[in-house]
C-alpha cells in the first residue's frame, strides 16, 4: 500500500529508515539500553503489536526479566523510557531537527508515534 504524500503520518518503511538513521547517528546520544528499547518499541509497533507494549512485556523482551518482574521493586523500564524520551527530545532539537520523520514516545504509554516533520531550509 503506497503512502499518501499528503498524509501527516509516515509509512512503515520511512519510519524504519529513520530508526536506522538515528541508531547509527553519532549525534543520537543513547546508551545501548535505550537503543534496545527504541528498536523494540518501533519494530513491534510497525508489526501491528502496539497493544502488547506494556511495562512487563518490555521488561521481559528487552531486559530479560522473568514472570516475577515487579516494576515497584525493579523500575528499569520506567527509568530507561524516561531517559529515552529525553534523548529523543534532545536529538530532535539539535541534529535531528531536519530529519523527515520524528519518533516520539508520549508520557503514559510505551507506544511510539511517528510524525512527518516539516523540512527547514537553512
| pLDDT value of residue 47 | 96
| pLDDT value of residue 5 | 46
Query: Does residue 1 carry a pLDDT above 50?
Result: no
Average pLDDT over residues 40-67: 96
Within 47-109, where are the H helices?
A: 55-63, 76-93
Q: Which of 26, 86, 77 minimizes the C-alpha distance to 53?
A: 77
Query: Does residue 122 carry a pLDDT above 60?
Result: no
CB 81 within 8 A of CB 54: no
Tell me how far the alpha carbon of residue 70 is from its chain's centroid: 23
Average pLDDT over residues 66-78: 95
- Locate the domains of the chain by residue range: 12-116
| pLDDT value of residue 8 | 64
Sign of CA dihedral 49, 114, 40, 85: negative
Distance CA 114, CA 1 (A): 17
Mind listing the pLDDT tens digit for each residue in 10-44?
888 999 999 999 999 999 999 999 999 999 999 99
Query: Is pTM, for the whole model, over 0.75?
Result: yes
CB 83 within 8 A of CB 34: yes
Report the helix count and the strand count for the chain, using DSSP H and E: 4, 2
Amino acid at each position: 500500500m503506497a503512502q499518501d504524500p499528503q498524509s501527516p503520518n509516515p509509512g512503515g518503511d520511512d519510519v524504519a529508515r529513520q530508526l536506522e538513521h538515528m541508531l547509527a547517528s553519532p549525534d543520537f546520544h543513547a546508551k545501548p539500553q535505550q537503543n534496545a528499547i527504541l528498536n523494540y518499541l518501533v519494530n513491534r509497533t510497525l508489526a501491528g503489536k502496539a497493544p502488547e507494549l506494556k511495562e512487563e512485556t518490555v521488561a521481559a523482551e528487552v531486559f530479560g526479566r522473568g514472570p516475577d518482574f515487579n516494576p515497584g521493586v525493579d523500575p528499569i523500564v520506567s527509568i530507561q523510557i524516561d531517559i529515552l524520551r529525553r534523548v529523543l527530545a534532545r536529538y530532535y532539537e539539535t541534529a535531528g531537527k531536519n530529519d523527515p520523520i520524528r519518533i516520539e514516545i508520549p508520557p503514559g504509554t510505551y507506544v511510539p508515534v511517528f510524525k512527518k516533520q516539516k523540512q527547514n531550509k537553512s
